[in-house]
Amino acid sequence: MVYDFLRILSLTLQVVSATTPLTIDRSRVPVDVSTRSGVFRGEESFHLSVRIRTFLSLPFAQPPLGRLRFIPPKPLHHFDGVFDTREPSPACYQVRDEYNRSFWGSEMWNANTQISENCLFMSIWAPADVVNVPVMVWLFGGGFYSGSPSLQLYDGKTLAAYSNVIVININYRLGPFGFLYLPPAAPGNMGLLDQQLALHWIKNNIAYFGGNPTRITLFGHSAGAASIVGHLIAPASKRLFHNVILQSGSLDNSWALQRPERDVNFFRYKDAFTALRKQDFSNPDVNFLIGLNKDEGNSWGIYYLADYFDKTEHPVLTRENMTKASDIAFAALPSFIRRAAQFVYEDVGGKCVPNGVPSKYLAKQMSEMLGDYFFSCDSLWLADQIASQNRSNETTKQDKNNVFIYYFAQHSSLNPWPKWTEAMHGYEIEFVFGAPLKNSSTGYRRREVILSKKLMQYWSSFASDGYNFSFFV
C-alpha cells in the first residue's frame, strides 16, 4: 500500500493543568504484579466504568548515578520484596520553558514532578484482568532537552480504558545527561539507549500485565517521533515493536540528528542519514502512521521569532521583515537558498503586497516555511521513501509496509494561545490521550469529545493490526 491519506479534522484543547502532578487517590485498591524483575505495587480503580491498573513509577534500569552517569543504562537487578510504584515518576534533569510561568500554554509542557538524576522509570496503565491486548508505548517530545512521562497531558488511563490497550510512558535522560558526546567517558545517545532498554524490559515483561509482546506500537511526538525512527535503524532495537505512529517528527528533521560519528554507539556503525535514504531498517516489517499539523510553524515563530510572531492579534510582516525573519530562522542555509525559498513561499499573493506594507499573508507564508522546514517536509519525505520501497517490493514480491498519513487541521475552542495560532505543533496530543472524556466539566464541546473518541479508535486500531482503517468516513 503506497499511501492512505487520512484527513482528520481535529481540535486543540486545554486539559487539566499539567502543573499539577498526577494525583493519588488513597481509596484505590492496591494491586501487585510479579515480573522477571520482581513484584511491583500499583493501584486499581474504575475509570470510564473500566477497572484500570496504574503503575506510575516502575523502574526499568539501575539509577544512572555516580559511575553510571553519562554511560549507557544498566539493566535493573532482580529485587526481593515489593516495589511501590504509586507515586508519579520524577522528571529527568532538563531545561525549563520560561516563556511565561503564569501562562498555561507554556506551563503545560514543563515538568510537574520533582526533577532528579534517578529518573529511569516508566508509567503503565492497563485494563484489569486482560490477556494479550495491544501495547502502546509513548515517547514524549521536547527537543531532547525537556519533557516528562508524568505530564497530565500524557495520562494514559483514558486511552487504556476506552480502547482496551495497555499504555506505557517511558522516561529517558535529556540534555547533557542524555546526549553529551565526550568519548570515551560520555559516548553519546544515552537517552536513546534508555528508551531501548525500556523497550527490552517491556518486551520481556508486559505479558505479566496482560499485554501482547508481539503487538507493541511506538507512538511519539516531535523528538519522541524522531527517537522512534532511530529505533527503526538501530540493530539492538530489532523486533522490539511492530507498528509506529510518528506525530510531527522524524529523525531526518534538521534539529534531530548529530554528525554520524556521534551515533555509532546507538546505530552500531551505521550512518543514520544513509540508512534512512537506503531504507536500511533493522525493523523492516513495521507499519507506519505518519502525521503533521496544519500550523506546525506557529509555535516555532512565537518562541524563536518573538519580535514578529509573539502577538495577541494575527502577526503581520512586511517583505523586508520576512527577509529578516528568514535569515534568523534559516541561518544555517546559504543566502541564495533562503531567498529562493522566500520567493516560492511569497507566491502570487505575496508578489501583490507592496514593499513596506505589513501583511497577514506574508506572516502566514513565513509560518508555512517554518513548519515545512522544521517538521513537515521531512515527515513527508520519510513517508515517500517507504512508499517508494513498497513499489519496489511489489516487483520483487517482498513484504510491504503499510503507510498512512494523517493531517491535523482544526483549531480548538479552548486553546490557551491566541486564535490565530490554530493547529500548532503538539496540539493533537490531548485528543489522542482522551482528555475530553476525563471530566465533563472542563468545557469541551460535544463534537470535541466525539473527535477524541475517533482519534483513540484510529490509533488503537492501528496498534492492534497496523492497517485496519476500514471504519474511516
| 424: β partners | 295
Cα 442 → chain centroid: 24
- Within 8 A by CB and 6+ apart from 205, the residues are 35, 36, 37
The Cα 231–Cα 221 span in angstroms is: 14
Structural contact between residues 157 and 21, judged by C-beta atoms closer than 8 angstroms: no
CA distances from 153 to 11, 149, 193 (A): 15, 9, 25
pLDDT number for residue 168: 99
pLDDT number for residue 388: 79
* Beta-sheet pairing, 4-8 with 403-408: parallel
Residue 242 among the catalytic residues: no
Per CATH, domain 4-298+397-465 is 3.10.450.40: no
Could you tell me the mean pLDDT of each successive run of 10 residues in the chain, 473 residues long?
40 36 63 98 96 98 97 96 97 90 88 97 98 98 95 97 98 95 80 98 99 98 95 91 95 66 60 67 81 95 95 95 95 92 80 80 95 94 83 59 89 86 93 88 85 96 80 48
pLDDT number for residue 470: 52
Peptide bond into 184 cis (omega under 30): yes
pLDDT number for residue 20: 44
- Within 8 A by CB and 6+ apart from 216, the residues are 134, 135, 137, 199, 202, 203, 206, 240, 241, 242, 243
Structural contact between residues 122 and 149, judged by C-beta atoms closer than 8 angstroms: yes
Q: Which of 296, 422, 428, 448 is catalytic?
A: 296
Residue 425 among the catalytic residues: yes
CA distances from 35 to 60, 201, 308 (A): 11, 10, 54
Q: Which of 148, 222, 367, 376 is catalytic?
A: 222
pLDDT number for residue 402: 87
pLDDT number for residue 260: 53
pLDDT number for residue 263: 62
Q: Is 352 left (phi over 0), alpha (psi -120 to 50) or beta?
A: alpha
The Cα 55–Cα 109 span in angstroms is: 22
The angle that helices 360-371 and 335-351 make with each other, rounded to 10 degrees, is 140
pLDDT number for residue 270: 60
Show me where the domains of the chain are located.
Answer: 4-298+397-465
Structural contact between residues 458 and 6, judged by C-beta atoms closer than 8 angstroms: yes
pLDDT number for residue 363: 95
Structural contact between residues 401 and 287, judged by C-beta atoms closer than 8 angstroms: yes
pLDDT number for residue 6: 42
Q: What are phi and psi of 37, to 5 degrees?
A: -85, -25
Q: Which of 47, 231, 411, 425 is catalytic?
A: 425
Return the C-alpha cell found at 92.
Answer: 529527568
Three-state DSSP at 465 gives helix
Q: Where are the alpha helices (DSSP H) in 281-334?
A: 297-304, 306-309, 319-329
Residue 261 among the catalytic residues: no
Structural contact between residues 11 and 413, judged by C-beta atoms closer than 8 angstroms: yes
The Cα 241–Cα 469 span in angstroms is: 20
For residue 144, give the DSSP letter. T
CA distances from 266 to 189, 195, 394 (A): 7, 11, 32
Structural contact between residues 341 and 371, judged by C-beta atoms closer than 8 angstroms: no
The Cα 217–Cα 458 span in angstroms is: 13
The Cα 318–Cα 342 span in angstroms is: 13
